[in-house]
């Protein structure tokens, strides 16, 4: 009789591989199924990790050309070696995916390579793409197959990944485009657009909404757009793309105002379509298994990540909620704990969100717009990095910290940061909020001087009293 598992995880992105590791640590006999030849999913192979390598490298290139001379470091005009920069990105990916493979072996998790399909109760077929397949049996199945590129609603777009590219192609360009048009002013579009802008491309962002970073705090969005504008990025807000026509060397992007008006066409060397992502649920056998999927393609689950079919669970980008790697990881841990008889839980009110541009944007909790819509009385404390000694010393004085607290209880409801290192600073706010802390708790906590994080303390002081250094 074939070996039977306690758990099979389909997909080895952050949610899937973390779920598998936690389950193995809790004593469950676990296997994973991955369609790629390497583990780690979109995030490690063609998403989060390679994009951060390119973001950092392009930031260093820009700093060498602009910031270092102001600090008295004169090296002349930097020269771009794009091939070597791409090699750094590829080496970073290789190191990370090999690390996941090592963790699978360390935790005695079996790895099956191929397309995983649910073919019956507790049965998963793995097809290798060459006509061969193997069927494996399990008590539980976790679907963690992530998401795919969404495209432009109502517009026929063909991705050749050279002229018309998704985030995947935007990380593989052979040369810096003269003009890149980015369709979508969300996280992916702004991160990758900023990479190529720093390396010398003219970048135009076309966004359907009247603001960038849709769900982000409005004040943060407005100031951040101004900062990116100073870096040379042009914005066409409140505009709907109606066509993308590509040739072998260039493309034309046609768009018109959402509220009505004359259409406009822009010629570009590269068009990056970054309009979001959609759940990847193809070829999983969900319909055959009877698993309920909503109108957006998301798998329906209850509060314990269970689908309507006993023994089948789902986490990450294939279910409702923000499509964030760390959200998927926390869900992976929680569902593994639940299957092991423990009380797995995720606090969705305290999931940080970061935009890894320069400066960074980070947020946790509620925005002012959300609290107004909910009718919650709140108070705000703000502190600019221009009044922070460490920020001035590093020539990183752009941006601010905003702390939002409940007007009656002083409990912190949201923290929003735009500035250098925002993605690291946001976590003290997340810890505070996880324990129901107040603005006064944060403001009275001693922060080392001089640090960028002092701005968080000062903003908290401003929420319940007054900041000291402003």
Half-sphere exposure of 222 (CA within 13 A, CB side): 3
Q: CA 399 → CA 68, 223, 459, distances in Å?
A: 20, 8, 12
Of 288, 345, 427, 449, the catalytic one is 449
88 is catalytic: no
The first and second tokens of residue 311, run together, are 């023994």
Q: 246: Cβ–Cβ under 8 A, 6 or more apart, which residues?
A: 158, 160, 163, 164, 252, 271
Phi first, then psi: what are they for 55, rounded to 5°?
A: -60, -45
* DSSP SS3 for 395: coil
Q: Is the peptide bond before 251 cis (omega within 30 degrees of 0)?
A: no
The DSSP annotation for 299-367 comes to BP--TTSB-SSTTEEE-GGGSSS---HHHHHHHHHHHHHHHTTS-----GGG--EEE-SSSEEEEEE--
Cβ atoms of 245 and 252 within 8 Å: the answer is yes
Strand residue runs (E) in 35-185:
110-113, 115-120, 123-127, 133-143, 147-149, 164-165, 179-183
Q: 172: Cβ–Cβ under 8 A, 6 or more apart, which residues?
A: 86, 161
* DSSP SS3 for 41: helix
Distance between CA atoms of residues 360 and 421, nearest Å: 6
The first and second tokens of residue 57, run together, are 């490298």
Distance between CA atoms of residues 106 and 112, nearest Å: 16
Q: 75: Cβ–Cβ under 8 A, 6 or more apart, which residues?
A: 64, 68
Residues annotated as part of the active site: 449
């Amino acid at each position: 009789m074939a070996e039977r598992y306690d758990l099979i995880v389909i997909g080895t992105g952050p949610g899937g591989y973390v779920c598998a590791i936690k389950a193995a640590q809790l004593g469950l006999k676990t296997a994973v199924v991955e369609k790629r030849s390497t583990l780690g999913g979109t995030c490690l192979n063609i998403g989060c990790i390679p994009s951060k390598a390119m973001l950092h490298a392009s930031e260093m290139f820009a700093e060498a050309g602009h910031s270092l001379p102001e600090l008295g470091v004169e090296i002349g005009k930097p020269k771009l070696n794009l091939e070597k920069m791409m090699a750094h990105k590829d080496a970073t990916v290789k190191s990370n995916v090999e690390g996941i493979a090592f963790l699978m072996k360390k935790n005695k998790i079996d790895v099956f390579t191929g397309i995983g399909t649910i073919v019956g109760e507790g049965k998963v077929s793995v097809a290798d793409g060459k006509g061969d397949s193997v069927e494996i049996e399990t008590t539980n199945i976790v679907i963690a197959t992530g998401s795919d590129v969404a495209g432009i609603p109502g517009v026929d777009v063909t991705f050749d990944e050279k002229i018309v590219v998704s985030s995947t192609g935007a990380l593989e360009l052979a040369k810096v485009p003269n003009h890149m048009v980015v369709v979508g002013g969300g996280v992916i579009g702004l991160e990758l657009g900023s990479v190529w802008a720093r390396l010398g491309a003219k970048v135009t962002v076309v966004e359907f909404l009247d603001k960038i970073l849709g769900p982000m705090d409005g004040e943060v969005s407005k100031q951040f757009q101004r900062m990116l504008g100073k870096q040379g990025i042009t914005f066409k807000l409140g505009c709907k793309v109606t066509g993308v026509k590509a040739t072998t060397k260039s493309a034309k992007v046609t768009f018109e105002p959402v509220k009505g008006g004359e259409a406009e066409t822009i010629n570009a060397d590269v068009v990056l379509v970054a309009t979001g992502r959609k759940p990847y649920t193809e070829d999983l056998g969900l319909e055959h298994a009877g698993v309920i999927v909503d109108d957006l393609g998301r798998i329906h689950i209850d509060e314990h990540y269970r689908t309507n079919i006993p023994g089948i669970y789902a986490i990450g980008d294939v279910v409702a909620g923000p499509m964030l790697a760390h959200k998927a990881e926390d869900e992976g841990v929680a569902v593994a704990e639940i299957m092991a008889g423990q009380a797995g839980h995720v606090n969705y009110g305290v999931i940080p969100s970061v935009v890894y541009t320069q400066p960074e944007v980070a947020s946790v909790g509620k925005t002012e717009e959300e609290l107004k819509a909910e009718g919650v009385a709140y108070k705000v404390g703000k502190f600019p990095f221009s009044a922070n000694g460490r920020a001035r010393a590093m020539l990183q004085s752009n941006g601010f910290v905003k702390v939002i607290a409940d007007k009656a209880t002083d409990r912190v409801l949201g923290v929003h940061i735009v500035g250098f290192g925002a993605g690291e600073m946001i976590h003290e706010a997340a810890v505070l909020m996880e324990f129901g802390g107040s603005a006064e708790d944060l403001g009275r906590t001693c922060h080392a001087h001089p640090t960028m994080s002092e701005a968080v303390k000062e903003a908290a002081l401003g929420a319940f009293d007054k900041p000291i250094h402003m």
